[in-house]
Structures are given as C-alpha cells and as structure tokens.
Amino acid sequence: MNIWIYILRRTLYIIPILVGVTFLIFVLFHLVAGDPTYLLLGKHASVSQMEALRTELGLDRPWFVQYWDVLKSSFTFDFGRSWASKQNILDMVKQGAIPSLTLTLPAFIIGLFLSIAISLFVSFHRGKPIDRVVVFITVALMSFPSLAYILFGQYFFGYKWGLFEISGYEFGFPYFIPYVILPGMIWVAVSLGPDVRFFRTLMLDEIYQDYVRTARSKGMTERAVLFKHVLKNAMIPIITHVMNQIPFLFLGSLLLESFFGIPGLGSLILEALNNNDFPTIKAMAVLIAVIYTFFNLVMDILYTVVDPRVRLG
Amino acid sequence: MKEKMKKSIPFFTLASSFLLSGAIFFLVSCAKKDKAGEKVLHLPVSAKIKGMDPIYTNDRYSVNAVGRVYEGLLSYHYLKRPFVLEPNLALAMPQVQDGGKTYTFKLRPGVLFHDDKCFPGGKGREMVAQDVVYSFKRTIANPKALGWWVIDGKIAGGNDFREKVAKGKATMESPIEGLKALDRYTVQFKLTEPFPQFLYAFAMTFFFVVPHEAVKHYGEEFINHPVGTGPFTLKEFKRTNRIVLHKNPTFRKKLYPSEGTPEDRKEGLLADAGKQLPLVDKLVIHINVESQPRWLSFQAGKLDLLEIPKDNFDTVVTPSRNLSPKMKKKGIKLHITPALDVTYTAFQHKNKLFSNLKLRRAMSLANDPHISNNLFYSSTALVAQSIIPPGIAGFISGFKNQWVGPDVKRAKKLLAEAGYPGGKGLPVITFDTSASTVSRQIGEFFKKRMDLIGIKVQVITNPWPELQKKIQTAQTMIHSLAWGADYPDAHNFLQLLYGPNKAPGSNGSNYNDPEFNQLFESIRTLHDSPERTKLYEKMYKIAADRLPWIYGVHRQSFIMTQGWLKNFKKMEFEQGTEQYLSIDLEKKKQLQAHF
C-alpha cells in the first residue's frame, strides 16, 4: 500500500478514537464526579448561586447537547477555559509542555542511549563478572522507590553539597538547564535499571542467533556484528518500547516536577481531577489520544524502515 | 577486537566524564542571581495560584497574590491586635448615617493605577469613586463571583440589579440604588438594614478596586494581567512556578506605621516607622507544593521565611516551643501565632438521634482532642473549648468546657443515662470527612475513641465536592470540618449555628436553638461594644454547654524567619503585608556565611 494512503487511513482512525474517548470521559464525569459548583463557589455558595453557575456552565442542558459541545471542542481544539483556574486550557498546556519536555526529553534520550549501550556491552560479556555486576546494579537501582532518589538527590546534591539548584525553574535557554540537571539525572537513574534489563534480554535473544555466528565466521568485526546485525534486529521491540513512552514525555513526571518545582504538565490532570475541572480533563484526554495515535503511526512506519519484511496494510 | 574495546572504554569514559562534568558545572552557573544591593524578598507558597482577578479569589494563596497588586478602601493595621480597620484607599473611615444603613467614603485623591497598556499612552490614571462602584458591580453582576455572599441582600437594589443582569435587562452601566459615586472622590453605600460587619467587606479582596479599562482590554485574560493601585506591579506570572513583582514606581505616599504595642517596639517592629512603603525593591514568590524543597531552600538561605512543615517540626522546635540551638545559631527566629479558626465534628441535628444532649456530651467526653492535637498537629494547636477562637472578642480566656474530653468514665455514665448503655441500641454512626490522608486518620482516631464507650463509627471519606454536597443536603450523621475566619469578628463563627442559616446555608449541622437564634438576631445590628462582647460571650458559653459540635482545636502557625528579614509580624489577613517587610542586606551577608 502507498505510504500516503496508509498515513491518511490511520489519520482518519483518530475520528472514532476521539468519539470513543470523549464519550467515555463524558459518561464517567457525569456518573462519578460530584457537582463542580460546590468547589467553584467555595464555602459560602448559595443554592441560587449554584443554579446560576450550572446554567452558565451549561450543565442544565440535555446530555446530548452537552456531549455535542464536548465533541465539537475536541475536533476544533478549542477547549475553552479551566473551570477551576479560569485559565485558557491550551495556554496552560503550552506553558506546561515546554518545562516538561525540557526535563523529560533529554533525560529520556540520555537514558535510552546509556541503557542500550550498557546492554550491548554486557550482552557481549555475558556470564562474566562485569555482566553480573551490571545485573546486580540494575536490580539494586530498581529496588529503590523513585521518591527515595528524589529525597536523597535533593538533600545531598542540592542542599548539602550545593552542586545543583534545590528546586525552581527559569524559562528560556540556557536558564532552564541548571534546574533540570538534577531531576534529569534522577530520571536516568530510575529508568536505567528496568531499561538495561529489558534491552539486555533483547540483545541476548539475538546474540546467539545463527546469523550472528555466520557473521562472525565470515570475519566481521565485533563492532559490525553488534551494531549492524544484533542492534538492527533488536530494533522492532526497541522502537515499540520507545514509541510507547514518548507520549508520556509530554505529560511530564508528577513526582519530579512537584518536588523540583518544575511547572510542567505532571500535575495538571491530577489537579483537574481533584477539582472536577471537566474542560481540563477532557482536553488532556483528547491530547493524549491524539499524541498516542500519532506516535503509533510513526511506530508502524519505522517498523518498515528497520525491517523490510514488515508491510504497511 | 575485544582487547581494543577494553582499552578504549576507560579512555572514552574518562574523557566523556570530564567533558560532561565541565559542561554541567558551566550550565549550573547559568542560574539567575539577585543583583547586588537590591532588596529582594524570596517567599514560599505551597499551592498553585489560580489567578489575580479579585472577584475570583477565595483561597489564601490567590487572596495574597491579589493583595500585592490591588487595594481596598480599608485595610487592617499591620501591628495592632486585636485587628483594627484603618483607611487605605479611603481618606478616612466612612461616615455612617441613617442608623447604620448609609456608609459614605471620601477617597484619597491622587492614587494612580499601575502604568499599563490598557490606558491611553500606557500611563495609569487616577482612581476615582466610579472605579469603586464598578468594582462592586462586578461581583453583583457575575454569578461566578465568589464574594457575593458578603453583600447578598445587603446593598439596596443589589439583588434586583443582579437578577436583571441575568435576564439581560440591565448592564454594568445601569444604576444601583444603594451604590453611587456622589462625586469624583465620594462613594456612598445604602444598605437594606444595618449591618455592622459591612465594613469588613472593604478589606476583602473581592471588592478591591480595579479599572474598567483593564477588564475590557484583557477580557478573560484579565485574571493574568492585574492592574491595581497596590505597592507592587506584576512582572512575571507563572501560576505553577513563580511570581515576580517589582516595587510600584507610582505608588502613593503610604508610610510604615508608627503605632504598635510595646512588644512590637521591643522586637524592633517600629524601627522603620514613617518610611515610605514598600520597603523592598522586588518580590519573588516561589511556588512549591512539596514541603521538602521549601524546607531545604529555607535551610540554604534561599527563602526568607517558612511555615514549618509538620514533618520537620520536631527537628527545629523544642518541647518548650523554642527554636533548636542550631537554628538560633543561624540567626533564625520563630513566630508562633494563633490562627482564627476552629476544627470540629458536627452532629447532624436533623437526625433525631442527636437531639439527645446526653449522647452528644458522652461522645464529646469520649473524644480526646489533646492526643489528636499531638498526633495531627504536633501539639502546636490549642484545644478548643467552644466555637470562637482566641484573638477576637467573644473568646473567653481561661474558660474550661466541662464537656471537652477525655473522660471515658463520665462518658460511659452519660451514655447510659442517654438510654444507650455501652452503646446498645445505637446504630452505626457514619463519620463523613474529606479524602485526604490526614482527614482519614482523624476519622480513624475518632472511631477508636468512640469504641471505648461502645459506639460503633464508620469512617467515610469523600472527594471534597461530594462531602460538600452531602453536608448541604443533610446526608451526613456526623462530619468533620474546619472553619477559618473571613473577618475578625465572632459573628463569622456564630452564624454557623444560627438556625435560619441551615443547609444548604452555612449552618451545615442544621443546629436550631431558639435561645441561640434570638441572641444572634440581637447582635446582628450591634456595632463593636462591651454590650455586644457580652452577648458574644453568652453565645460562646451556650455553644460550649449544648455541644452542637464536638470541638477540635484552634490551629497555630509556626513560622521561621531568617535573621535578615525585618518587620515580620504574622497577620491572619495577610494580603499586601509584604509592603511592610524589609531586608537587612549587611546582616544577610554576615549570616549567610553560616549557611
């Protein structure tokens, strides 16, 4: 199939996905969540004030009219304003996505390259002391809760030794860098354990395949064997792993952002849920669905690039 | 090949580590620092700021944010306690006529709004009486405005105007009978009935003065573009991260107070008397929800004050309520101030079970607010004896409520007299509370205490809106809440037990005591006087004896300030108080050497 037709077809999938996601969110919100007017008007709210607010928010209209509005805003990306903070939701997302990405993207890329490099190295030395040491370290890294890394890192690197900023964030390059180094290092440390173990297993699955032995017997260098054959053949699960993680990079990291005072998107959904802030919940659900669909499409296309046996269709 | 790889790895590792460390330390040095000689206040905030439109501010953090850039006609004296209202944008206290139904304010001439592009040529114009009228009208006309409860039914023609606006039959230009600008500097309010607490409205952020040009120019974005007359102007507003404000260059002549208590003088709080406000050049508000970074930043000297986080309390405050020697050595000071609030467990009086006074007393005696204080507030709070907190007229110092526990023996006896010996015959009592961890723990502790006398309690946690809904529709048996003062008057607490304020009004427990109601009605129109205080005290005693609620605690704030921070005095209504604070730069340099 022509790649453009495939992309068009997959892009059109977004329509039923958005209809489904918005309907689910709409039903859940109206069934489970309480009346937002109690929260919005505070402790002195009167019945008439709550009724007036319900009318203003359109909550007294028939459900299908309300749902039509939800659907419309999802396709136009006009999410309006947050009920809780009265801020423009798209502005909130834009303002939050940049700090989130400045933290998560470099940390993710560094973590990914490090874990692939380490896993290639240890799979090459499988069974030797270095392999055992790395496995031990990765298990140890995985054994600590991420909060422990944060508390430890912030106390020693930030406060005690004064190497990094304890918390805060500055917008603009290069001012943000001092504030994301420590949380970025923690991100890498937290992800290194599971990622190295995962990639090591992938590499080991490949390293004893016949084609590797064939390549070696043909006199290929170890570097060529590892990078041209082993790594390339392990690319399908690596791409799946990476592409599944990318959408979450936009959402930031709740714990890291909250402890390091990074104004990202990490807490936006949680805050919206606590406040029964339906427009923000809806906007975030729609954006996640769109990002997820997009990266799934990219993933499918990348499969065809790394493995000629895979056909789009 | 293997050998080659082995050799190249240490070199590669060394070189890359060296380069990486160099890059990191270069980049770390990019962090912005304060300019030398500039007085910059660094203050922490533990919640995200919703915005800075006065009509939408009802949480402490937004109220404070608004108070830095906007002002009201009146404000609280910074040093005097109990709290005293004084003129702010008003030239003097209002003339009260017509038996307390007419308030006429003369405004201070020459007060300018901040320079902003919403004004012609970007120059802030003079604030006039019409701006005060406009600012009140914004709350009256807007169903989402949070300050409507203060003036609901109070301003003549106000409710009528609100209804007409809702129906599209009136606009912001339409007149309101009881709200008029008599001339450029005179504004008059006519009330439907005398309401002595009305004066407090002028110190509440809901009614701080805004220019109509800014509201029109910024539209819905006005919430992020404050244009007031206040001591600071907004330079940067990142609602989840940081707020930066600069000293307002066109701020009117406003001087640091020269009156205070002898204790204030001793503490050096009058050293800056007569100096032009604000005393600092810049204000940086650091927003951080988690307590550890706030705590570490304060310890590192990067914040000028800090409310001590619960988890760190015992490490810095001794059992005798002094600072630890380590903190003292750094020049840090401790300020302990009672908050104007009360925590309580309310009985649902619509439920006939709780019309039994002996049952209510038995439950109160079985409870142990002292242990609760220790467990949940690190013994920093004061055990409440009745509804009014210390610091306002009506609170009786030294009063001991005989029904406040713990006294399990008496509780058991009373429970038997109530007709439920050992809890027999009683249904399981549901205890509704909010979904936070501490609220749940408080519920579990209450359950354990009631178990001691045979009463079975089931703790139900609810998301906040759900709890509010249950209370407003009288679906709880007992529920746990706290109330913080909106203004420093016992009226604000006593109205919580006034029968006609029943749910969905503020009396969520639906307590309805004819004698209490009658007393409340008699104080409604009374101005501050010994006579009114006597009536407040009588109601305090009734609330203590008849236990419409089981009383919890009055919380206290424990704040640490750096040795270089000058003029700090904790204020319950703290909007705009940063204008009085100052930094001793010389001392800061000296003390920071110890950090």
pLDDT digits (tens, 9 = 90+) for B138-187: 999 998 888 998 999 999 999 999 999 989 999 999 999 999 999 999 99
Using the beta-carbon criterion (under 8 Å), do A267 and B240 form an inter-chain contact?
Answer: yes
Using the beta-carbon criterion (under 8 Å), do A167 and B297 form an inter-chain contact?
Answer: yes
Region A233-244: mean pLDDT is 90
ipTM (interface pTM)? 0.85
Q: Are B79 and B569 in contact (CB under 8 A)?
A: yes
Cα angle B586-B592-B594, degrees, rounded to a multiple of 5: 125
Q: Are B197 and B495 in contact (CB under 8 A)?
A: no
Is the pLDDT score of A189 beyond 70?
yes
- d(C-alpha B556, C-alpha B542), whole Å: 25
The answer to whether B117 contacts chain A (CB < 8 Å) is no
Reference A157, options A134, A138, A184; nearest CA is A184
Q: Residues of B numbered 52-111 whose beta carbons fall under 8 angstroms of chain A's beta carbons: which are they?
A: 53, 56, 58
Q: How far is CA B586 from CA B37, B272, B581, in A?
A: 9, 16, 16
Nearest to B50 among A84, A159, A169 (CB): A84
Using the beta-carbon criterion (under 8 Å), do B1 and A222 form an inter-chain contact?
Answer: yes
The answer to whether B51 contacts chain A (CB < 8 Å) is yes
Between the two ends of chain A, the Cα-to-Cα distance in Å is 6
DSSP sequence for B461-526: EE-HHHHHHHHHTT--SEEEEEEE-SSSSTHHHHGGG-GGGBTTSSBTT----HHHHHHHHHHTTP
Using the beta-carbon criterion (under 8 Å), do B465 and A166 form an inter-chain contact?
Answer: no
- d(C-alpha B64, C-alpha B87), whole Å: 19
Show residues of chain B in contact with A224, CB under 8 Å: none
Show residues of chain B in contact with A179, CB under 8 Å: 31
Using the beta-carbon criterion (under 8 Å), do B221 and A164 form an inter-chain contact?
Answer: no
Is the pLDDT score of A47 beyond 60?
yes
Interface test with B, best of A35, A44, A126 (most B CBs within 10 A): A44
- Strand duo B333-338 + B549-551: pairing: unpaired
The 8-class DSSP code of residue B426 comes to P
pLDDT, residue B35, reads 78
Using the beta-carbon criterion (under 8 Å), do B290 and A86 form an inter-chain contact?
Answer: no
Reference A186, options A153, A162, A141; nearest CA is A153
Q: Residues of B numbered 293-312 whose beta carbons fall under 8 angstroms of chain A's beta carbons: which are they?
A: 293, 296-297, 299-300, 302
Tokens of B288: 């951080």
The 8-class DSSP code of residue B117 comes to T
**Of all residues in chain B, what percent are helix, strand and coil, respectively (each to 5)?**
40, 20, 45
pLDDT, residue B32, reads 64
Q: How far is B261 from chain A (nearest CA, A)?
A: 35
Show residues of chain B in contact with A165, CB under 8 Å: 28, 31
DSSP sequence for B359-422: HHHHHHHH--HHHHHHHHHTT-SEE-SSSSPTTSTT--TT---TTSS--HHHHHHHHHHTT-GG
Using the beta-carbon criterion (under 8 Å), do A35 and B469 form an inter-chain contact?
Answer: yes
Using the beta-carbon criterion (under 8 Å), do A38 and B469 form an inter-chain contact?
Answer: yes
Nearest to B289 among A55, A177, A258 (CB): A258
Handedness of CA A179, A181, A185, A188 (dihedral sign): positive
Q: Are B390 and B398 in contact (CB under 8 A)?
A: no
Using the beta-carbon criterion (under 8 Å), do B143 and A179 form an inter-chain contact?
Answer: no
**Higher per-residue confidence, A146 vs B13:** A146
Nearest to B239 among A87, A164, A221 (CB): A87
**pLDDT > 70 fraction of chain A, expressed in percent and rounded:** 98
Using the beta-carbon criterion (under 8 Å), do B30 and A222 form an inter-chain contact?
Answer: no
Interface test with A, best of B6, B24, B241 (most A CBs within 10 A): B241
Using the beta-carbon criterion (under 8 Å), do B296 and A46 form an inter-chain contact?
Answer: no
Show residues of chain A in contact with B1, CB under 8 Å: 221-223
The answer to whether B239 contacts chain A (CB < 8 Å) is yes
Nearest to A169 among B143, B241, B466 (CB): B241
Q: How far is B423 from chain A (nearest CA, A)?
A: 34
Round the average pLDDT of chain A to a whole number and report it: 88
pLDDT, residue B23, reads 65
Between the two ends of chain B, the Cα-to-Cα distance in Å is 53
Show residues of chain A in contact with B241, CB under 8 Å: 99, 168-169, 261-263
- d(C-alpha B234, C-alpha B228), whole Å: 10
Q: Are B560 and B329 in contact (CB under 8 A)?
A: no
Q: Are B71 and B576 in contact (CB under 8 A)?
A: yes
Q: Are A52 and A62 in contact (CB under 8 A)?
A: no
Parts of chain B with a pLDDT under 70: 1-32, 465
Q: How far is A298 from chain B (nearest CA, A)?
A: 32
- d(C-alpha A245, C-alpha A292), whole Å: 9
Region A157-165: mean pLDDT is 91
Q: Is B247 exposed, middle or buried (0-12, 13-18, 19+ CB in 10 A)?
A: middle
Q: Residues of B numbered 153-172 whose beta carbons fall under 8 angstroms of chain A's beta carbons: which are they?
A: 166
Confidence of residue A6 (pLDDT cuts 50, 70, 90): confident
Tokens 């002292």 sit at which residue?
Answer: B370
- d(C-alpha B209, C-alpha B186), whole Å: 14
- DSSP H or E run through B160: helix B158-166
pLDDT, residue B423, reads 94
Q: Are B50 and B287 in contact (CB under 8 A)?
A: no
Q: How far is CA B208 from CA B56, B147, B581, in A?
A: 11, 11, 22
Distance, CA of A292 to chain centre = 9
- Strand duo B102-106 + B85-87: pairing: unpaired
The answer to whether B27 contacts chain A (CB < 8 Å) is yes
Using the beta-carbon criterion (under 8 Å), do A38 and B297 form an inter-chain contact?
Answer: no
Tokens of A115: 């874990």
Q: How far is B193 from chain A (nearest CA, A)?
A: 20
Nearest to A49 among B24, B148, B287 (CB): B148
Tokens 């309101």 sit at which residue?
Answer: B176
The answer to whether B541 contacts chain A (CB < 8 Å) is no
Q: How far is B465 from chain A (nearest CA, A)?
A: 6
Using the beta-carbon criterion (under 8 Å), do B293 and A261 form an inter-chain contact?
Answer: yes
Q: Are B85 and B76 in contact (CB under 8 A)?
A: yes
Using the beta-carbon criterion (under 8 Å), do B149 and A46 form an inter-chain contact?
Answer: yes
Q: Is B317 helix (H, G, I), strand (E, B) or coil?
A: strand
Show residues of chain B in contact with A146, CB under 8 Å: none
Neighbour count for residue A127 (Cβ, 10 Å): 8
The 8-class DSSP code of residue B255 comes to B
The answer to whether B464 contacts chain A (CB < 8 Å) is yes
**pLDDT > 70 fraction of chain B, expressed in percent and rounded:** 94
Using the beta-carbon criterion (under 8 Å), do B32 and A170 form an inter-chain contact?
Answer: yes
